[in-house]
Amino acid sequence: MTPQTLKTRQNRTIAFHQTPGAGPGVVFLGGLKSDMQGSKALHLEAWAKRTGRAFLRFDYSGHGESSGTFTEGCIGDWAEDAEAAIITLTEGPQILVGSSMGGWQALLFARKHPDLVAGLVGIAAAPDFTEDGMWGSWSDAQKEEMAETGQVALPSDYGEPYIITKRMIEDGRQQLVLRSPQTVNAPVRLLQGTADEDVDMSVALRLLDHIEGPDIRLELVKGADHRFSDDYCLSRIETAIEDVLTHV
């Protein structure tokens, strides 16, 4: 099905699919180099249609069917895309479901627009990964390559190597969320697989310790990997959203 599109004030074209339904709606925020055709996004859309819940999935610029190329973008650009999509296309507070980088994006949105967050579900959430998961673990050779060429190619289990640009690393430092306290006055559910090789369990524990709020829980799923998209994991995402809805 052909997506609808939204033009942002930065003149980026964001492709999206929207399901009408009851509020608070659910917004899916995808991961780095992921898109809105992923199994989690499509599963949640089907769940929303089945339960009559409003739902939005979209592609950041440089991802999927949206304009631009991946190497042009950075965390701040994609935060602008998410902000434009949520504010323009939804009504009232939303439940943000953030996968991997989408968890970081959800926290950035919640920090800027706390009154528009009815709940937050993180799936292998990866806040600050450009600094802690990339730059902080890179070899001297990789850092020298970045200084000389402006980019580093990282191997990926999901296809072609990720080209990480100097701009992405530098912008990421302006978007860090784990360096200062953050309060989320809405239900927060964090889901993390113990076999995740991309986001270590320590990140989930750090995030649990970092967020302040009245209702925050972390669920560890033994053996689940970073995709978190087998039938059982998908059922846990549904359950987390439904749990948030009961506490809104």
Distance CA 40, CA 28 (A): 9
Distance CA 181, CA 205 (A): 15
The whole-angstrom distance between residue 231's C-alpha and the CA centroid of its chain comes to 20
Per the CB < 8 A criterion, the answer to whether 174 and 76 are in contact is yes
| Residue 225 token pair | 């990997």
Query: H or E element: which one contains 28?
Result: strand 22-29
Which member of 34, 77, 226, 229 is catalytic? 226
The whole-angstrom distance between residue 64's C-alpha and the CA centroid of its chain comes to 15
Which member of 81, 128, 171, 196 is catalytic? 196
Which member of 100, 171, 198, 229 is catalytic? 100
Reply yes or no on whether 231 is catalytic: no
The whole-angstrom distance between residue 134's C-alpha and the CA centroid of its chain comes to 17
Reply yes or no on whether 157 is catalytic: no
- Determine the residue type at 195: A
Reply yes or no on whether 226 is catalytic: yes
Distance CA 235, CA 238 (A): 5
The phi and psi torsions of 89 (rounded to 5 degrees) equal: -100, -15
Catalytic residues, which ones? 100, 196, 226
